[in-house]
Amino acid sequence: DTEVTQTPKHLVMGMTNKKSLKCEQHMGHRAMYWYKQKAKKPPELMFVYSYEKLSINESVPSRFSPECPNSSLLNLHLHALQPEDSALYLCASRFGAPLAGEYNEQFFGPGTRLTVL
């Protein structure tokens, strides 16, 4: 099973709203990622959690706030977003242990299509 789930599939929010995106995996993966993807562009890394600790924050604005409550769950809290934040938000995971080979494979969830009005 290589499934990463994300909810909601679609989200429309105003600039003053607070909302959260949720990501879940039950593959025992200990590295979890948030990416942002605009049309016709590659995924852009936002955050990486390794063993539930934030290991990479790619200078993302504070209106995006990640949270990793446990090894299976990853949230992205959104507040006071701008229209230019409209994008496909992708969660991904991989084993995360310092092992070689297929343990480095990263699997993406289906994404949340976010529209900020």
* Residues at the site binding other proteins, with contacts judged by CB under 8 A: 2, 31, 33, 40-43, 45, 48, 50, 55-56, 88, 90, 96, 100-102, 104-111
Determine the Cα–Cα distance for residues 17 and 12; give it in Å rounded to an integer: 10
Residue closer to other proteins, measured from CB, 10 or 16: 10
Residue closer to other proteins, measured from CB, 67 or 79: 67
Closest approach, Cβ 76 to other proteins, in A, equals 15
Task: Say how many C-beta atoms besides its own lie within 10 A of residue 8's C-beta.
Answer: 13
* Amino acid of residue 115: T
96 φψ region: left (φ > 0), alpha (ψ -120 to 50), beta (else): left
Closest approach, Cβ 88 to other proteins, in A, equals 7
